[in-house]
A and B are shown apart, each in its own frame.
Chain A
């Protein structure tokens, strides 16, 4: 890392000032950053468009979800640009995969909802840390750093506001006579045009906000490192050293430089977290006289006495106040707070459990409604399926059928019991369809609907036979028309051929 080449002026900044610095960077290099974002997002967008062109909601969700694919290149470019090396868009795109790949799966799943995404990104991308090392590093970097979370919150709001503004502007530009929909419908019941408008607005706003978000996150990161590793002091001393180099003799120069370096190291040593950047460590024994020397200087050795007024009496309580409820609530909440003090870990675990449960539930819901999952589940589900035991008043339990229904039907025909014979044949056919062929026949299915099911699921020959059987059954059951003996006997013979292999 060549701090001399740093293009930004490092000084001690608050996190909010650091975010400002990031916004200034994004404004300065907006064009390359924006182009980079678009170049990364557009190919995925086009592919998704061809796959999901009639499901724009999903399209939008996926493009939004895959933000970790478009943001690292921006961070990569910025990390070079602040040190004076402005890469071309093409150069970054050529390295796109190597930039995006580290920990991609985690970035797309687990870390997708990390509220300080842009702040933590450099640790994985630029420092190449992972696992425990990454976690330890983030613990050091992230101490007292809440601005990164607020940056994400503000970013989300800005994105939403910009999108609404975009749709509003387009709506306002439509002449009143040509408006076919109301403003509220454009958001609540958008229809095709509204969907497209929201998609276009969403993409535009994402692309505009992304450079600012990434740059601000990067500036926060730089600021924090500069704070921890005293980059600003180092740079200033280097500059001083350079300046002095021209005026003083080499001996003096080296003496001053040595003293300054020793001083810097003495001051920075306790703060430095990466020894590589900190130079040679100085033992506490050697440092003590140096520190004393420095503190004895005028700049440090000054004492000031200030005076101020402070009320030392008991605060007056307003007994007549009607804030009883609020006070009670405050007491209650304080009590709960005290009770849970030190139990933050339990809360954390509960939140994790809730989060994982929600994720599992969502995955289950999506999977349950997708065809592949149903196909996958088909066999186990059918094994445990409750088969109907009765349909049209006919007992469908296999054990209620005789061993040879066709033979039994013939015997019934010989006795003149046509209705019973046809009933037996029809019941046997249904048992076959339900038990053997796993055809779902609901309770409300009429004979015609059963016929349609057979036609849809079975061979033409079987459908013809079932049709003939159904017609005879219908005439007998509802028309009370007694059939001739011959066709019914023929039905018995065919039954054996069609359904003879029914597994009872």
Chain B
């Protein structure tokens, strides 16, 4: 059996499960389809997600549901101003019983990590997490520990209450594959959500018991490999690069995206194609993921910000001006 056939078989089998993955998460997280789709894209592309939204919109539930559907380990860290790097990565402690030092691994040793309100912790703690996200390994007292894969970090930011926060610098924002806005659900979705959560529940504990495990962590790793080897036409690559390069010369953008933006566009575009059930990437895949991939990689000029424009408005203009690929 050739490699191609193996790959095709893998995709046929696993793609069916992938469709179920989004459905399973949707059982617990009512509405927020785009957020679920973006998180799944990040999972397939092996990236991390920065979620921005007001509290109480289901960010924790989203990650817990994802963990439940994939059968992975879920951890949550509430970022506070006194959080230390070792509180995330772990540290060495002296065990008096065994009369020896032993490593206590931090919450980062998991498959799905929710870094809640990441901008509330000081820069060094943020950096510790971001290094882990990039390297996928942790060094404690000179000893390197590999993280258990797949590893997806979902960091949240609150757009309100900015006093006393440490906004992530542009260089660190760049480490996130996607930035996702999570918004209020509409009336019907909220009604359904409230009914579902309050029926038979004593407190407002998040219930993910209805979610079935549809994929195993190993299958996710296979899927990630499959996604990364998906064929991309030269024109598509050129299209992604064109979009990113346009952000650098666009009026109203102070700092455009770097080459990491183009790379992220292709990674996310591939994942989007896989989720759409295709074995090739189309310009639509790139266009669909471009806002989430680029919105945190560009910095608007002061006058646009004062006028109330958001990165998405400018990106919309860019996408409607960059020529689609010419085959």
**Docked pose: A480 CA to B287 CA in angstroms:** 20
Return chain A residues, CB-CB under 8 Å to B287: 446, 448-449
**Docked pose: A423 CA to B327 CA in angstroms:** 10
Q: A447-B284, A448-B284, A449-B284 are in contact. Are A479 and B231 (CB under 8 A)?
A: yes
A332 within 8 A of B: no
Query: Is the CB–CB distance between A480 and B233 below 8 Å?
Result: yes
* CB interface residues, B 300-320, toward A, < 8 Å: 319-320
Query: Is the CB–CB distance between B282 and A448 below 8 Å?
Result: yes
Query: Is the CB–CB distance between A447 and B323 below 8 Å?
Result: no
Q: A392-B325, A392-B327, A479-B231 are in contact. Are A447 and B282 (CB under 8 A)?
A: yes
* CB interface residues, B 177-207, toward A, < 8 Å: none
Return chain A residues, CB-CB under 8 Å to B278: 479
Query: Is the CB–CB distance between B326 and A478 below 8 Å?
Result: no
Closest A residue to B287 using CB positions: A446
B250 within 8 A of A: no
Closest B residue to A423 using CB positions: B327
* CB interface residues, A 475-496, toward B, < 8 Å: 475, 477-481
Query: Is the CB–CB distance between A474 and B320 below 8 Å?
Result: no
Query: Is the CB–CB distance between B280 and A447 below 8 Å?
Result: no
* CB interface residues, A 437-473, toward B, < 8 Å: 442-449
Query: How many A-B residue pairs lie within 8 Å, measured between CB atoms?
Result: 57
A393 within 8 A of B: yes
Return chain B residues, CB-CB under 8 Å to A479: 231, 278-280
Distance in angstroms from A107 CB to nearest chain B CB is 40
Closest B residue to A448 using CB positions: B284
B236 within 8 A of A: yes
Closest A residue to B320 using CB positions: A444
Distance in angstroms from B37 CB to nearest chain A CB is 15
B57 within 8 A of A: no
**Docked pose: A298 CA to B321 CA in angstroms:** 94
Return chain B residues, CB-CB under 8 Å to A481: 279-280
B322 within 8 A of A: yes
Distance in angstroms from B283 CB to nearest chain A CB is 4
Query: Is the CB–CB distance between B324 and A474 below 8 Å?
Result: no
The one of A444, A445, A475, A477 that contacts B327, using a Cβ cutoff of 8 Å: A477
Between B233, B278, B282, the greatest number of chain A beta carbons within 10 A of the residue's beta carbon is seen for B282
B67 within 8 A of A: no
Query: Is the CB–CB distance between B320 and A446 below 8 Å?
Result: no
Return chain A residues, CB-CB under 8 Å to B320: 442, 444
Return chain B residues, CB-CB under 8 Å to A478: 233, 235-236, 280-283, 327
Chain B contact-residue range equals 20 to 34
A interface, over-half SS: loop
Closest B residue to A391 using CB positions: B324
Return chain B residues, CB-CB under 8 Å to A393: 325-327
Distance in angstroms from B36 CB to nearest chain A CB is 20
**Docked pose: A360 CA to B293 CA in angstroms:** 46
Distance in angstroms from A434 CB to nearest chain B CB is 15
**Docked pose: A477 CA to B233 CA in angstroms:** 8
Return chain B residues, CB-CB under 8 Å to A449: 284, 287
Distance in angstroms from A190 CB to nearest chain B CB is 16
**Docked pose: A445 CA to B282 CA in angstroms:** 12
Closest B residue to A477 using CB positions: B327
Return chain A residues, CB-CB under 8 Å to B326: 390, 392-393
Could you mark each residue 422-446 of chain A with 1 if its beta carbon is under 8 Å from any beta carbon of chain B, else 0?
0100000000000000000011111
The one of B231, B235, B236, B324 that contacts A444, using a Cβ cutoff of 8 Å: B324
Distance in angstroms from A433 CB to nearest chain B CB is 15
Query: Is the CB–CB distance between B231 and A446 below 8 Å?
Result: no
Closest A residue to B288 using CB positions: A448
Closest A residue to B286 using CB positions: A446
**Docked pose: A100 CA to B327 CA in angstroms:** 69
**Docked pose: A479 CA to B281 CA in angstroms:** 7
Q: A392-B325, A393-B326, A477-B327 are in contact. Are A446 and B233 (CB under 8 A)?
A: no
CB within 8 Å of A: which residues of B? Answer: 231, 233, 235-236, 278-284, 287, 319-327
8 contacts between A and B (CB under 8 A): A443-B323, A444-B321, A446-B283, A448-B282, A448-B283, A449-B287, A478-B282, A481-B280
Q: Which 8 A-B pairs have the closest CB atoms?
A: A393-B326, A479-B280, A448-B284, A446-B283, A477-B327, A478-B233, A446-B284, A446-B324
CB within 8 Å of B: which residues of A? Answer: 390, 392-394, 423, 442-449, 474-475, 477-481
List 6 additional A-B contacts (Cβ < 8 Å) besides A393-B325, A446-B287, A481-B280.
A390-B326, A444-B319, A444-B322, A447-B283, A448-B282, A478-B283
